[in-house]
Amino acid sequence: MSEFDQLYREVILDHYKNPRSHGLLEAPDAVAEGQNPLCGDEVSVSLRFDGDRISEVGFEGRGCAISQAATSMLTEIVQGKTVDEVARMPKEELLEEIGIPLTPVRLKCAILGLGVLKVALHKAKGTPLPEEWTGAGDLTIA
Amino acid sequence: MEAMAVTARPKLDAERLRADFPYLEELLNGKPVAYLDSASSTQKPRQVLDAMREFYEHSYANVHRGVYRLSERATEGFEGARHKVAKFVNAPSPREIVFTRGATESLNLVAYAWGLDNLGKGDVVVITELEHHSNFVPWQYIASRTGASFRHIPIDDAGELRLDALDEIAASGRVKVVANNLVSNSLGTVNPVEKLAAWAHDQGAIMVVDAAQAAPHRAIDVEALGCDFLAFSSHKLCGPSGIGALWGKRELLEEMSPFNLGGEMIRSVALDKTSWNELPHKFEAGTPAIAEAFGFGAALDYVSAVGLDAIEEHEHELTAYALERLGELDWVRSYGPPADRRAGIVSFNVDGVHPHDVAQILDWEGVAVRAGHHCTQPLMTRLGVSATTRASFYLYTVSEEIDRLVEGLKKAKSQLG
């Protein structure tokens, strides 16, 4: 298999070209957005809950094939799962699904969507933030 | 010496280690320079120089952003060095290690990024009379900017901290910061940082440790010290200059605002809002000293392989020997505590000869020492001198070099004293 085919597996290209759950929800119960500081990938996530379960997911984003395809795949994984399950979901679970060799830099592309989704859960349900999103802070000009 | 020697520690073979140091190959009147200024900066072993050359030749690119393999290799080397630093000081996580230009920048980072947001009127910043300017002036400055008061722990005549002064300092206001060097760069005093850290925490203060002079010479364990921040430099432990580290407790680093802005410390930027990157990158603006960080890691490997305990014991023997030899000269006055409570640093004065003249004459004898206030002017004031001559030792120092120092001092005394 060529290097191209290893990284840009058919399933990745499919999710990239035809992203699932694309478009933000109207009147969502939780939202978050985030960027990958390394290359500027962006992802926004919106969620609706049914009790303690995630009933609907919608995302929008701009970025490389890996970041957008991984977020698309993530929306399929989390649909119907409980908030706690997803908040505790290790990144390895998503990486296994993606199933491609990732260097440390591309790894950050792949887990961007998962991080943003966990930030949305944190904001709405108080679940813990993933490590890379804690204590970063920002500056907002009034 | 024999009476007090605890010989369970591993021995260091300085003669063998000297073969690693190219500076010793250059001869002056048939002899290599007796380099007795390691407290200022150490010489570099071939292992560190080779590691840096290798890195530049085979693994160099800018770090973190590159998707290509060369950049991945550079990032791996750079981040690998961060892991080595974390291990060296027993930090719980490499995310708590911030690369800086050196101990001075590390201490400025804490003073600005923590101090500006956490200090105000009624608060007290505590340093010591022994402090290097790098751990003195940033706190003096930030205290004055924030309206906090600035107090010092005095020393006794032997150059040791007077902890009996703590109660009075505690009564003077809310103590918020205690900043102290673990080893004094001027006198070599090993300070009771564990005790000070416990006292600081009793007051609700943070403990900031300047380990620039300690890290090269003894094993450092941030958890055992009980401090909140610890700063040190690469160039004082066989590594390149221009790189150093700050360790900080994660909760504190997370709460802190950034220090320098731009580049790697950014997550995203818009006209009205900018988000900071995660730890430790939040504090690392701009392209870092990449190969220097790699060399820093190689230096940590080198001194760790020699053994910090062995280095400490070796310096202890040299210091005891130097104090004994200087003690034979009744026209030399040395400063600081006895050998068993100090690192490999000896500060002294020759009656009737200014330290700069002493150092000049020693240089003609091929003996390199430092003369001046050693960036500790408050301490010089306390000692009642304007300057001292300082000889300092490291793992490549041998006792013959101390003999050469003593012969040189005799010459200086006879010519100018």
**Using the 8-state DSSP alphabet, how is residue B115 labeled?**
I
* pLDDT score for A141: 59
Q: Is B253 on the interface with A (CB under 8 A)?
A: yes
Q: Which residue of B has its CA nearest to A102?
A: B67
Range of the domain at A87: 3-124
Q: Is B16 on the interface with A (CB under 8 A)?
A: no
Put simply, the answer to whether A134 touches B275 (Cβ < 8 Å) is no
Decide which of B29 and A90 is more confident: A90
With a cut of 90, say whether residue B11 has pLDDT above it: no
Domain with residue A68: its CATH number is 3.90.1010.10
Closest to A137 (Cβ–Cβ): which among B64, B250, B257? B257
Which residues of chain B are within 8 Å of residue A140 when distances are taken between CB atoms? 272-273
A134 within a domain of the structure (yes/no)? no
Q: What is the pLDDT of residues B196-242, one digit of tens each?
A: 999 999 999 999 999 999 999 999 999 999 999 999 999 999 999 99
Put simply, the answer to whether A137 touches B277 (Cβ < 8 Å) is no
**C-alpha–C-alpha distance, residues B333 and B351, integer Å:** 8
Closest to B275 (Cβ–Cβ): which among A105, A134, A138? A138
A101 within a domain of the structure (yes/no)? yes
Which architecture characterizes domain B50-305 according to CATH? 3-Layer(aba) Sandwich (3.40)
Exposure string over B288-313, b if 16+ CB within 10 A, otherwise e? bbbbbbbbbbbbbbbbeebbbebbbb
With a cut of 70, say whether residue A15 has pLDDT above it: yes
Reported ipTM: the value is 0.74
Closest to B276 (Cβ–Cβ): which among A42, A137, A141? A137
Calculate how close chain B gets to A74, using CA atoms only, in Å.
22
**C-alpha–C-alpha distance, residues B345 and B347, integer Å:** 7
With a cut of 80, say whether residue B168 has pLDDT above it: yes
Closest to B75 (Cβ–Cβ): which among A104, A132, A141? A104
Q: Is B3 on the interface with A (CB under 8 A)?
A: no
Q: Which of B397, B305, B407 is nearest to B358 (CA)?
A: B407
The answer to whether residue B375 is catalytic is yes
Calculate how close chain B gets to A35, using CA atoms only, in Å.
6
A136 within a domain of the structure (yes/no)? no
Which architecture characterizes domain B14-32+307-416 according to CATH? Alpha-Beta Complex (3.90)
pLDDT band at B10 (very low <50, low <70, confident <90, very high): low
- For the segment B20-42, the average pLDDT, to the nearest whole number, is 94
Residue A74, C-beta contacts closer than 8 angstroms, at least 6 positions apart: A94, A113, A114, A117
A139 within a domain of the structure (yes/no)? no
- Counting Cα atoms < 13 Å in the Cβ hemisphere of B6 gives 7
A141 within a domain of the structure (yes/no)? no
Q: What is the pTM of this model?
A: 0.90
Q: For chain A, positions 95-134, list CB contacts with chain B under 8 A.
A: 103-106, 131-134
Q: Give span(s): CATH 3.40.640.10, chain B.
A: 50-305
Q: Residue B312 has which token pair?
A: 């400490």
At what angle are helices A10-17 and A65-78 packed, to 10 degrees?
90
Q: Which residue of B has its CA nearest to A104?
A: B72
Q: What is the pLDDT of residues B303-351, one digit of tens each?
A: 999 999 999 999 999 999 999 999 999 999 999 999 988 999 999 999 9
Q: How many domains does chain A have?
A: 1
Q: Give span(s): CATH 3.90.1150.10, chain B.
A: 14-32+307-416
